[in-house]
Amino acid sequence: MYKSITPNILVDDVSEAIDYYQHILGFSLVHAVPEKGPLHWAMLSADNLSLMFQDKESIEKELPYMQHVAHGHSFTLFIEVDDIDEVYNRIKSQVDVVKDLHTTFYNMKEFSFADLNGYVVTIAQEIKAE
């Protein structure tokens, strides 16, 4: 029944979000609206992942309910990777790490950082039993 899920993330500035996710995590721009001028919405992808970013003004026009919803701290993103050490070493000096690299009780090695809009992104890798 379900095919996929792609978060549509409320941000202050879509262009800044694009730059951040391209530079920090290597996402690529798939589509942006409008094609010229200040952006109101964009979709980015990396491997099998997709994220959408939308500015406050356009999402409030589309969904008036959103006028009263806070953003930036309302959810976290959990991204699983193949090589956590490579990702951690590549980005740790470029991000606001809120929880350093550690091993969890559920057999994951992970770290978390806050992005430019205050959303917490956790990068994780499953620890394989030897």
Token digits for 17? 């979000």
- Token pair 């969904």 is found at 63
Contact 18, 44 (CB under 8 A): yes
pTM over 0.75: yes
Q: Helix, strand or coil for residue 65?
A: helix
Are residue 13 and residue 59 in the same domain, yes or no?
yes
Cα separation of 111 and 47, whole Å? 20
- pLDDT mean over 20-48: 94
Task: Indicate the residue among 71, 93, 119 that finishes a domain.
Answer: 71
- pLDDT mean over 29-49: 93
Cα separation of 37 and 118, whole Å? 25
Are residue 31 and residue 85 in the same domain, yes or no?
no
Residue 58, phi then psi, degrees to nearest 5: -75, -35
Tell me how many domains the chain contains: 2
Are residue 67 and residue 100 in the same domain, yes or no?
no
Looking at the DSSP bridge assignments, the partners of residue 76 are 120
Are residue 90 and residue 43 in the same domain, yes or no?
no
Are residue 23 and residue 60 in the same domain, yes or no?
yes
- pLDDT at position 73 is 67
The domain containing residue 33 runs over which residues?
A: 1-71
Residue 10: CATH number of its domain:
3.10.180.10
pLDDT tens figures, 79-102: 999 999 999 999 999 999 999 999
Q: Is the pLDDT at 46 greater than 90, yes or no? A: yes
pLDDT tens figures, 11-32: 989 999 999 999 999 999 999 9
- pLDDT at position 2 is 83
Are residue 52 and residue 90 in the same domain, yes or no?
no
pLDDT band at 72 (very low <50, low <70, confident <90, very high): low
What are the residues whose beta carbons fall under 8 Å from the beta carbon of 17, sequence distance 6 or more?
9, 11, 42, 53, 115, 116, 117
